[in-house]
Chains A and B, each alone.
Chain A
Amino acid sequence: MSAVRCVDLCKTYRQGDQDIKALDHVNLEITSGDFVCLSAPSGGGKTTLLNAIGGLDTPDSGEVYVAGQRIDNLSKSDLADLRLRKIGFVFQAYNLIPVLTARENIEFVMQVQGVPASERREKSLAILHEVGLETLEDRRPAKMSGGQQQRVAVARAIVSRPELVLADEPTANLDSKTAGELMELFTALNERHNSTFIIATHDQHIMTYAKRLIRMLDGRIVEDIDQRAA
């Protein structure tokens, strides 16, 4: 089964009197449980593609399917529901709500979903353990390191077992050691929970963690490598 399918996606931005093709006829299929790195130089279209897949933005033309459901024509409110229930997000920075503690941040999505308190608590404690932050349960983001913050964000993204986890340059603000540790965590979670991961990056080192590497340039997919074979 495919977790994500994109058919002929196009998105054009106007900058001044120039048309920028952020997505230029992108066709893509990602199987469930895969671990994909999306790599492109800055401005290559990674964020635009992830936003289209994650229902944060709609393409100009083409179709997007997530877990078999077509999403590019959904209403804003249905898109919000899709993001809430089917997709976990990790962003580059400012992933956490500053006034909530680590555990509250992790529980936030479940709380909006309407998961009962006892179940939330159980799950959030388990995932804190899994990402190795059990001691930071009651800490607010301002008192955590960048790596710790990203781990909490990963925990939040995975805690309600979404179909799909989208991470847009999650390691960009981390030093290479911490970045490597975060990628190890992604890999471990991918294997344990079988969620599909798509991680955008332009860091060569990060790409080595991927099972499948998709390279983009100027809104086109220019290379698609299965790294398991290698």
Chain B
Amino acid sequence: MFNFHFECARCGMRRTLPVGGDSIVGACPSCGATHRIEFFPALLRASSGQRAENLVLDTESSCFFHPTKRAATACEGCGRFICALCEIDMGSQHLCPRCVEQGHASGTLEPLKTEYTRYDQIALVLAVLPLLFFYLTLFTAPMAIYFCVRHWRQDAGVLPHGRGAVMTAFVFAVLEVIGWIVVLSWLIPFIGGTW
């Protein structure tokens, strides 16, 4: 018998619900709220815990990290033999703990990336919003260009982001800077008259 730990989304009532099929529709016995639940075979997997096998013969390959355990596979990053305990399933890759650690530290392991900063959006706001108070653009346009460059130089994000924001920001910021150069070069002879 397999159980699903159900919690009502409306009243919070918890019940252990026996699973008898791949989906169920019913009312919460406590508040009557209808729930639709889809079940998947992962629920039936009794225990996903892996157990490392001991070496039977000394001619068998052993784990790089546990010399007494039998190698189950080779790390796809460094090629070392690893046991079932050391094997880390990264979705598309199977890696040893050391490669995962290195990948996390260097940010090169995509499945471990958990954060991304939208410098392109920051640049866009800095380039467009201050146009309402045009004099602010003297300061914000160079900042917008800085964030455009920063966006361009950082790793591609995990998710697909169009280039619309960074392009728009860049065009606006460059035009603002050109505008300021024209205005200032026209003003400077007046100010500099006393030099």
Q: Do A and B bind each other?
A: no
